[in-house]
Structures are given as C-alpha cells and as structure tokens.
Amino acid sequence: MHKPRFLITIALLVIYNFFFWSEKLGANLSIFFTLGIIAMLFMNEENIKNKNVIVSMLAALYSSAMVVFVNSGYAKFGAFVCVMIFTGYIHQPQLQTVYNAVLTTFSSFVIFPYNVYIELKYFASKFRAFKLVLKFAKLAFIPVMFFVIFYAIYAYSNPVFNSYSVTFWDSIGKYLYDIFINYPILRFFYILLGLMLITAFIYNNKIRVFTELDNSFHETLQRNKIFKVHSRTHPVLKTHLMYTMFSYRFKPNSLKLETKMGIVLLVMMNALLILLNIIDVQVTWLGFDASNIDNLAYYVHEGTYYLIFSILLSMAILLVIFRGSQNYLASNRTLKLLAYTWIVQNAFMAVSVSLRNIYYIEHYFALSFKRIGVMIFIILTLTGLVTMLLKIHQKRTTFWLFKINSIAAIVMLLIMSSFSWDTAIAEFNLKNPVREKIDIDYLLRLNNDALPILDKHRDVLDREYMEYSFIFSDYKNGLDVYKERVADFEMEQENYSWLSWNLPDERTVRYYKEHGKDIYLIKNKNIDSLKNKIKEKNEHIEIVPRRENQNEINAREIREHEPKIEDTPNTNDTPKTEETPKLNALPENNTKPKQR
C-alpha cells in the first residue's frame, strides 16, 4: 500500500512554518518532534518492534520534553541528536551504533534533491497533466534561456521597448512587494530548510552503506586457521600488496618480540605514572593548599588538558598492542597485568584531575559550563578506561569499544539535559564571600532562568566591570546591564506566543509579576529615570560658551552693515480718507512735469 508521504510532508511543512517563525524553541519543538515521530512510525510500521527503535524513540520523546521543562542548550542539542538517532534506526533497523544512525539521517538530509526528483517522477507516473507540465518544462528550458538573452539585447537596443519593459516589471515588482512584505526572502529559505529536514525524516531512501559497515564487524574477536585473528564478519584474504602496505610485520617470532616490547613499554609507563600519582596524592589528595601553588589556574587548566590527552594516548597505545593475535597468546599474562595496572593508574590520574577541577571551583567560586564540560569529559574518559579493561579481558573488538562509549555519551547527554545548569552556576558563584571577585560579566551572559537569582543580588551587580566582546571591550555597570536583560526578556515574552512556552521562562515571568514592585526594571525605556540621570550629569558639566568660527563672524558683520529696508504699508488694509494722495495724479497747478 502506497502511503501518502507527500501529504504528510506538506502537513508537517505547514506546521513547521507557523510553529517556528519568530518563535523560541519550547513547546513548538516538542510538539513538532512528537508529530514527526508519529509520522515516521506510520511510514515505517514494519520496524516498530525493533529494540533500537523503541529505545531511541523513548530517548527522543524524553529529550523533547526536557526542551519544555528545562529549555537549556543541552536539552535542545540532545533533542536534535536523539531524533536523528531515532530517524536512522527507524529507516535502517539493522544499524547497531548510534553514530552510524546519525550519519544515516544526515545522508538523507544531504540527498534532498534526489528526494525531490523521486517525488516528481512519481507524480508524473500518476497524473497525466503533471507529466505534460514536466515534459513542457524540459522542452522549454533551452528556448527560454535564448529568449532571455535576446530579450535583454532588444531592451538595451530599443528605448521604446525598454520603457514598456520597465513599466511591465515595475507592476510585477509591486505585486511581489505585497507578497514579500509578509513573507520576506529569508522566510523562503527558512521554509526550504524545513522541507529538507522533513524529507530527511519522512523519506526512507534505504541508505545501507552504514548498515553494511555496522554489520561487517563482530563484537568479539574471531580466530580460525585461514584468517587467524580478525573482527570482520566477512574477512578479506590479505594480498601481498595489502599486507605489505597496511601491516607492520616483524620476523617469524614477531608476536613474542612484540610482547617483550610491550612489557618494556608498560613497565616504563607504569613507573612514570606511579611517580606522578604519588605526587598527586601528596599535593592534591592529602595536603592541597591553593596558597602554596604559584599559578592555580595554569595548574588546573593546562594540566587538565595535558593529562586528559595523555589518558587518550594511553588508550590508543593499548588498542595497538592488543589488536590481534596478542589477545590469544598464552604467555602474555605479564603484559595483560601491566596493561590492567596502567589502566587503573590512568583512572586514578583522571580522578585526581577531577579533584583539581573541584578544588579550583570551590576556591574561586567559579563554576562554569567549561568546567562542567571538563567533568563530563573525565566521566566519559573513566567509562572508556573501564571498557578498555573489559575489551582486553573479554577479547572484544574495537567496534564494540566505540559502540559502548557512543551509547555512554548519549546517556550522559540525556542526564545533562535534565538539569538547569544556568541557575546552578548563578547560585554557586554568588556565594563567593569576596564580592569584588565575582565574575558578573559571565553571570549576566547566562540564560533567562538565572535572572531571578541575579535580582536577589542586585547589590553585587551594582559596580563597574569590563565587558569583553569579539574585538572591543568597554566598562559597563552590572546593574544597568541586568535591567536591560530584564527589559529585553519582557519584550521577548510579549512578542512570543504559546508556541514558545517553556517552564523556566514561565517561572521567570511569574517571579517578576510577584516581585515587580521591588525590582528596578526599564519599563517603556524608563523615561523618568533617564531624565533624572541626564539632569544629574548636567549638574557636573561646566557650560562653556560656544566660539564662532571666522565664517560665522564675517556673515554676522555683513548682516549688521546691510541697509535696512522699511516695509511698505499695505494699501488694502489702510482706510481711505480724503487726505490720502492718489497715485498717478497730476500736480494741482496743472503744470507739466519737467523732462529730464
């Protein structure tokens, strides 16, 4: 049965057009994603019972709900990622990894022109009139190009024809102006983007390249006489050229030599790492004192990055050592024991790095998204170390390692999207007893749900600070910037409809309605307070008379020396009397006027 995917696409496009234009992501995103999930289930009902489809659908619905209840950046990003994962699984239920599900959805988005071509081809086969229109368009394409060229030539060569042409296109332009005044050109690109997203969700193009890639690997290492140790479901026999170019070979006893090299390497790395961990125990775990560290910021920031990089490099080295037959060698117990020890020591170092980060946050009261991201990365690094230990112990493949860690990353993203970190950052940083060291520039950049917390600490905000931008920097008053934020928030809420509703904004609006009388807001540009500020500033300004330039002096002197011309009385308004002389009258003595 052919399902009306074109009608579903048009319906979702109409909803998309009215849901998101000039609106904030909130209830509209949750409703739209829910409708999109229902449409995808209807279009691919044969794949509903798949386990990956069910789990990814629940994750997508949960993350979409968090957009309404939390409305953080993590929630919005998580909603998009989870919907992409669900789309990949519903289109190709044989997929095994979340990253290949995302790549499948992205591929559907990229091949949008192909989806348009398929839909046009289908309509041409069903409707004769549409087929004739397409046929005429194909036939008229080249003639129309030449028509436009000759039209331009004639318009430039004939002034009369050009005047008629200008009049015609002016009338067309007025008609188009009436259209674009409500639908600007930017909105058409916005609709095109929505159409590309919807076709990526609705049109299942059976993109199997990532499914085949997933299904070409085992989760556990395999061994046989022909291919020896491998991880592929359909291993390829290595030719001499491939074996020479892409394989590092030793002599016949290469496996034993590789084991000895691995033991030497891991002994050296464990010795170096145990020394570093002893120092961490003394400095970080037992006797941490921020005053004894010359540059605590460098100790935390730069040291953290280098240590995380060293942990990732250690995992890459272990992947190379235990990549093949080494996993089945009977005499590699020492090598495995050293590898386990190295993994445990790296995990201890990761915990030490997280402890440094916590000390820095507590010492400076400087919680931020960057430091939260560091903690998330350390947790994912610990997860990777645990899975690396299981890989070596259970003879797992690298494919299994990436599969498990990608799932851990999605779970962590869902956890992060469940909390409002802006309010947590504002509450923690404002507990700093040294008010002058509070970074109010960072606090004033937080999301709107942190505004009520900032309102309770207006005394902290009432000071000058340096506001940094991409290029420029300027001194500003924190309380004034806060007032502008509140005014902008109120203006935004007046322009938004119910489609942008979300719980954090609702709480903020409710807070200002309940405490409005105690809040310094800029209402209708706050004209009265602005006048008072101007008056206060003018009291300290010395009024200096303006000096005239030379041109103005010359013009004034000319005006002063010009002869004054008296106004002629209006004869119409003057009452007529006998004494009023008549114009053009002759003299009374009837004498002729003297000739000059």
pLDDT in tens, 446-468: 999 999 999 988 888 888 887 77
CA dist 502 and 445 (Å) reads 19
Q: Is the pLDDT of residue 547 over 60?
A: no
Q: Which residue has the higher pLDDT, 88 or 518?
A: 88
Q: Is the pLDDT of residue 290 over 80?
A: no
Q: What average pLDDT does range 263-286 have in this prediction? A: 90
Residues 6+ apart with CB under 8 A from 88: 95, 100, 101, 102, 103, 104, 105, 210
Same domain membership, residue 526 and residue 408: no
For residue 266, the enclosing domain spans 258-419
Of 503, 536, 569, the one marking the end of a domain is 536
| pLDDT tens digits, 11-58 | 999 999 999 988 999 999 999 999 999 999 999 988 899 999 999 999
Tokens coding 387:
């899975």
Q: What average pLDDT does range 56-74 have in this prediction? A: 94
Q: What average pLDDT does range 483-508 have in this prediction? A: 91
Q: Which residue has the higher pLDDT, 80 or 577?
A: 80
Q: Is residue 571 part of a domain?
A: no
Same domain membership, residue 388 and residue 278: yes
Pick the closest to residue 257 from 186, 316, 329, 192 (CA basis).
Answer: 329
Q: Is residue 121 part of a domain?
A: no
What's the mean pLDDT when you consider all of the chain? 80
- Say what the pLDDT of residue 406 is: 95
- Say what the pLDDT of residue 532 is: 54
Q: Is the pLDDT of residue 555 over 70?
A: no
Q: Is residue 199 part of a domain?
A: no
Same domain membership, residue 406 and residue 480: no
- Top mean pLDDT of 87-96, 297-306, 556-565 is at 87-96
Q: What average pLDDT does range 89-112 have in this prediction? A: 92
- Please provide the distance, in angstroms rounded to a whole number, between the alpha carbons at the two ends of the chain: 117
Of 115, 148, 183, the one marking the end of a domain is 115
Same domain membership, residue 433 and residue 328: no
pLDDT band at 361; cut points 50, 70, 90: confident
Q: Is residue 156 part of a domain?
A: no
- Say what the pLDDT of residue 525 is: 44
| pLDDT tens digits, 515-527 | 764 444 444 444 4
- Say what the pLDDT of residue 246 is: 46
Same domain membership, residue 405 and residue 433: no
Q: Residue for token digits 């919005």?
A: 76
Same domain membership, residue 449 and residue 405: no
- Say what the pLDDT of residue 131 is: 73
Of 400, 419, 438, the one marking the end of a domain is 419
- Of 459-468, 489-498, 510-519, least confident by mean pLDDT is 510-519
The fraction of the chain above a pLDDT of 90, given in percent, is: 34
The three-state DSSP-derived secondary structure of 299-365 is HHHHHHHHHHHHHHHHHHHHHHHCCCHHHHCCCCHHHHHHHHHHHHHHHHHHHHHHHHHHHHHHHHC
Q: Is residue 140 part of a domain?
A: no
Q: Is residue 557 part of a domain?
A: no
Helices 333-364 & 296-321 angle (0-180, nearest 10): 160
- Say what the pLDDT of residue 216 is: 85
Q: Is residue 541 part of a domain?
A: no
Pick the closest to residue 399 from 15, 76, 99, 28 (CA basis).
Answer: 99
Q: Is the pLDDT of residue 592 over 60?
A: no
Same domain membership, residue 355 and residue 431: no
pLDDT band at 187; cut points 50, 70, 90: confident
**∠ CA 190-194-198, rounded to 5°:** 175
- Say what the pLDDT of residue 312 is: 87
pTM of full prediction above 0.85: no
| pLDDT tens digits, 310-359 | 888 988 999 888 887 777 777 788 999 999 999 999 999 999 988 888 88
The three-state DSSP-derived secondary structure of 370-416 is HHHHHHHHHHHHHHHHHHHHHHHHHCECHHHHHHHHHHHHHHHHHHH
Q: What average pLDDT does range 409-423 have in this prediction? A: 93
**Total of domains in the chain:** 4
Same domain membership, residue 408 and residue 315: yes
Same domain membership, residue 374 and residue 279: yes
Same domain membership, residue 333 and residue 430: no
CA dist 406 and 386 (Å) reads 14
pLDDT band at 175; cut points 50, 70, 90: confident
Same domain membership, residue 286 and residue 222: no
CA dist 418 and 415 (Å) reads 5
Q: Is the pLDDT of residue 418 over 50?
A: yes
Same domain membership, residue 268 and residue 394: yes
Q: Is the pLDDT of residue 303 over 50?
A: yes
Q: Is residue 412 part of a domain?
A: yes
